[in-house]
Amino acid sequence: MKSFILSFVLVLSVNAMAEPEPLDDLMTPDEIAAEAGFPRTEMNTDVLSLRDFDSIESLNVTREFPIVLVANKNAYGYEAQTMRVIQNGSHTHTWKISTGREQWETSKSGRQYFTTTPPGWFYPYSIVRNHYSQTWQTNMEFSVFFNGGIALHAANSAHNYQLGRRASGGCVRLHRDNAKYIYERIVQEGKGLVPVIRPNGSVARDWRGNVIRAVKYRTLIVVEGY
């Protein structure tokens, strides 16, 4: 029995060692964006929460978007390091996530950066089943890029234990099963005519006060917290 347990532990250790480091620990978000030809990461300060949005902007986003994902980047407190999934107006899931570590670090490329997940309101602009970095020869599964080089993506299995606390280089990590589910739902809903919401949570309107709409993914990603 002891030999069986020892063998099992060794197999787990070898698998963990064989798994490559997460890409968002090897490169900064701007480096990921530059390599892929994506826009730079936007940094926002004053951002409306989803709870305040309806009363201030008089627009019910859970009716406008079939999928609304609310990631709470706080380190402590109610809903900290979780993602709420709202589908067709109903809260269907709450999952543990890992957002940025919120500290100055040096990436493996030698560049200093602040490992933050900026708050804001975003649309997916690129979804990639298996995003691959030629620079570091590693990947991010079920990547949903929404702010420069920052994406929702599957956590490596060796890092699942970190879900529920700050642990990433800036991306929003989810358990692989949850990342796969979100990826497939976003693909399923596709694009459509949706309200234009700025990164700070304000709605774009014309001179008459009418909501401006544009063709984008019918998924809204809100990052809340400090």
Residue 135 — pLDDT band, cuts 50, 70, 90? Answer: low
- Please list the active-site residues: 153, 171
Q: Is 220 helix (H, G, I), strand (E, B) or coil?
A: strand
Calculate mean pLDDT across residues 51-70.
92
What does pTM read for this prediction? 0.87
Burial label, 179 (beta-carbon count in 10 A; 0-12, 13-18, 19+)? buried
Q: What is the DSSP letter of 38?
A: P
pLDDT at 13: 44
Q: Which residues have a Cβ under 8 Å from the Cβ of 69 and sit 6 or more positions away?
A: 83, 84, 85, 86, 152, 182, 219, 220, 221, 222
Q: Using an 8 Å Cβ cutoff, are 149 and 28 in contact?
A: yes
* Alpha carbons 54 and 45: distance in angstroms, whole number: 20
Domain 20-224 falls under CATH 2.40.440.10: yes
Secondary element (H or E) of residue 180: helix 176-189
- Residue 43: predicted pLDDT: 81
Calculate what percentage of the chain has a pLDDT beyond 90.
63
Residue 154: in which H helix or E strand, if any? strand 150-154
% of the chain beyond a pLDDT of 70: 88
- Let me know if 164 is exposed, middle or buried by CB neighbors in 10 A (0-12, 13-18, 19+): middle
d(CA 196, CA 123): 9
- Domain spans, the chain: 20-224
Calculated CA dihedral for residues 149, 152, 155, 161, nearest 10 degrees: 120
